Every structure is written in C-alpha cells, then in structure tokens.
C-alpha cells in the first residue's frame, strides 16, 4: 500500500481492499481480513480497522456473518446488460460500438460503454465491477500493453458473466475472443500499395500513449517483414504518428505508398499530401486501416483495410449467447481491402 500522509489511513486501507476485491484478487465468497487481522497487518487502531470494514459493507463489497466473519459478496443476479470497455475513443472504436449496439438491440439487451484511458488497473477494476454487478457480458478491447493485465485475465473467475476480448489480443490465447487478423490486413494493404506505385513505403502509426503498445509493435513488425518478403527492392520507413510526416520525408525517401493506422490520421495524411501538391493516387497511394464513414465520405474517398466490425460484433454476440458446453471459443476475422480513390 502506497504511503500518502495527505489521505486518512482508513481511506487508503479501504481503497486497498476495494481494489483487491474489484480486480478479483479477493474472489466472491472468500473471507476478508478480520478487524484484528487488519490491525495486525497494517499496524492500525481497532477504530480504523472497523471504519474500513464498515465502508466496504456500505459499498456492498463485503457481508458480515455473525460468528463467522466478513466475506466478499457474491455476484449479483445476471441482468440483460453488456459492458464494453475500450482504452480510448477513436473512429474505429465508435464503429465497433455501433455494430455492437445493433446486436444488443436485436437481442433486447442494453450496452454500456466505458473508457480506461489506457490504464490497465482501471481496465481490471471495470471488468471486476461488471462481473460483481451481474452484467451478462463484458466485452474488452485490451489496453496497449496486455502484458500488464495478462495475469488478471488468466486468474479471472467470471462466474456466470461472459468475458470476451475483441478487436485484438496479444496475450489472451486461452480466452474467448473475436478479433481481427491484423497481419492479413497489412498484407492486403501492401499488395495494393506495391502494385499502385513504384516508390518506397511508409507506415504512419498512431503512437499516442506512453509505454509499450503491443499492437503497434505487431503492425510495424508485420509491415516490415511482409514488405521484405513480397517486395524486397522497396525500402520501408516508419513514423510514430502523423506529426512525423513531412514533404521532405516523402521526397527524400521517394515514398510512393502510405499505410495509416487510423481513419482520422488518414484524412490528415491526405490533407497534407494534397496541400503539398502531390497527386493521389498517381504519385502516392494511401491506404487507411479502419473503414469508417470518415474514409468513405471524404473527398476523395480513401482506400481502406476493412476491419469488418459488423462481422466481429456478430461473432461477439454468438460467443455471449452460446449456451453450449465449450468453455473457450475464438474467432479471427479476415479483414478486406476496399479500393476507392487513393
């Protein structure tokens, strides 16, 4: 437990036990530290230990049974609600949410969505809270560094709640998921770019969070390896985000094809290229990874790798509605290339 003299000790201890409960380090039905154990473990007074237990009871996190002690409360009865958790809000995430809402509407279920701002601890707390609150399903787009939540999901006891990973996973091989094959999407983008122009290739990533981003690492690695395999005579350049794109870079590296990792960034890329007087697609071809309305209705409309979020949402719903004996089911969606005007 971190020390902070500005926060009363009973509040810090309450937060300590609350986090352990919500992240399922302490599972439903397990016994929680008694007042004497709290006093001994944390070197606090009896009054402080009693305050901690009382606050946890008020939040319905624990229940006291006379003569037996205090226990983590059991999961609430299931309700027809699905929770959706994402690390951040993007046009691609919005697209996935819209397709999931279409599925929940057909099934007469409710969808509630939350953002973690790429905080692994917040992701774990939200998942645990929804399980405790009796959500029928929890759908998670994992944070950018799944190694930080891998143990949480490996040890998770979801009870009757279905927990599904979606869009991608770098660490959830033992889990239920409906994800897309990013390496296949990149391969299809490179096929198009290689045949559109003779210049070299540029990957515009979308690195906006500090720390590791396993998905961006996969995308960059796949982009380089597939390009080396298919078109070894072309050089590959990578920029962390759209701010790294410049006319000087395009001219110096003889860039003829660009893959952007988000639809919003693709519009920024296209706007800059047009401003610099470069002809699209005659001199530089552009592919966006996403296929939201932004790329479809922008002028000129942008060639995309379609993540097939409608199909992903349908498979997610199938995983949730499945009542068979299979414990784990995994779907990998095959992205499609949609050729437009770039």
At residue 281, the pLDDT reads 93
Q: Which of 132, 5, 141 is closest to 61 using CA atoms?
A: 132
Tokens of 93: 């995430």
- Ramachandran angles phi, psi of 261, nearest 5°: -85, -5
What are the per-10-residue average pLDDT scores of the chain (342 residues)? 73 89 82 91 92 90 86 87 95 94 97 95 91 94 91 84 92 83 96 93 87 89 95 95 95 96 93 94 94 88 95 95 70 95 90
Q: Exposed, middle or buried, 4 (CB in 10 Å: 0-12/13-18/19+)?
A: exposed
| Reported pTM | 0.85
At residue 175, the pLDDT reads 79
At residue 325, the pLDDT reads 57
| CA dihedral over 281, 286, 287, 292, signed as positive or negative | negative
Asked whether this chain's domains 9-72 and 79-180+309-333 adopt the same fold, the reply is: no
Where do the DSSP E strands lie in the chain? 62-65, 69-72, 79-86, 110-115, 135-140, 162-167, 177-180, 200-204, 236-239, 255-260, 285-290, 303-306, 330-333, 336-338
Distance CA 192, CA 204 (A): 16
At residue 156, the pLDDT reads 84
| Superfamily in which the 182-306 domain is placed by CATH | Response regulator (3.40.50.2300)
The CATH number of the structural domain formed by 79-180+309-333 is 3.40.50.2300
Distance CA 150, CA 120 (A): 10
The CATH number of the structural domain formed by 9-72 is 1.10.10.10
At residue 326, the pLDDT reads 57
At residue 328, the pLDDT reads 59
Boundaries of every domain in the chain: 9-72, 79-180+309-333, 182-306
């Amino acid at each position: 437990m971190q020390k902070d003299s500005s926060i009363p000790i009973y509040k810090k201890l309450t937060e300590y036990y609350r986090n352990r409960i919500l992240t399922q380090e302490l599972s439903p039905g397990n016994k929680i530290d008694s007042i004497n154990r709290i006093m001994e473990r944390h070197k606090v007074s009896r009054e402080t230990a009693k305050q901690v237990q009382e606050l946890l009871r008020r939040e319905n996190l624990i229940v006291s049974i006379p003569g037996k002690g205090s226990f983590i409360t059991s999961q609430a009865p299931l309700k027809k609600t699905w929770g959706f958790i994402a690390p951040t809000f993007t046009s691609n995430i919005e697209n996935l949410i819209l397709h999931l809402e279409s599925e929940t509407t057909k099934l007469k279920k409710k969808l509630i969505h939350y953002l973690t701002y790429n905080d692994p601890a917040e992701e774990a707390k939200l998942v645990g809270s929804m399980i405790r609150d009796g959500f029928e399903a929890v759908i998670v787009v994992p944070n950018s560094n799944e190694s930080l939540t891998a143990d949480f999901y490996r040890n998770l006891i979801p009870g009757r709640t279905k927990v599904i990973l979606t869009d991608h996973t770098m660490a959830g091989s033992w889990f239920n998921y409906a994800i897309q094959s990013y390496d296949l999407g990149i391969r299809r983008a490179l096929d198009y770019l290689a045949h559109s122009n003779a210049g070299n290739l540029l990957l515009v990533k979308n690195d906006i969070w500090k720390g590791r981003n396993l998905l961006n690492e996969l995308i960059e690695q796949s982009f380089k390896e597939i390009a080396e395999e298919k078109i070894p005579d072309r050089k590959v350049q990578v920029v962390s985000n759209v701010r790294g794109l410049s006319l000087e870079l395009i001219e110096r590296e003889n860039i003829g094809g660009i893959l952007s990792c988000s639809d919003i960034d693709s519009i920024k890329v296209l706007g800059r290229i047009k401003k610099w007087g470069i002809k699209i697609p005659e001199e530089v071809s552009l592919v966006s990874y996403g296929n939201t309305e932004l790329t479809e209705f922008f002028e000129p409309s942008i060639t995309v790798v379609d993540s097939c979020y409608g199909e992903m949402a349908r498979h997610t719903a199938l995983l949730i509605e499945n009542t068979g004996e299979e414990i784990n089911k995994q779907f990998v969606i095959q992205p499609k290339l949609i050729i437009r005007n770039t």
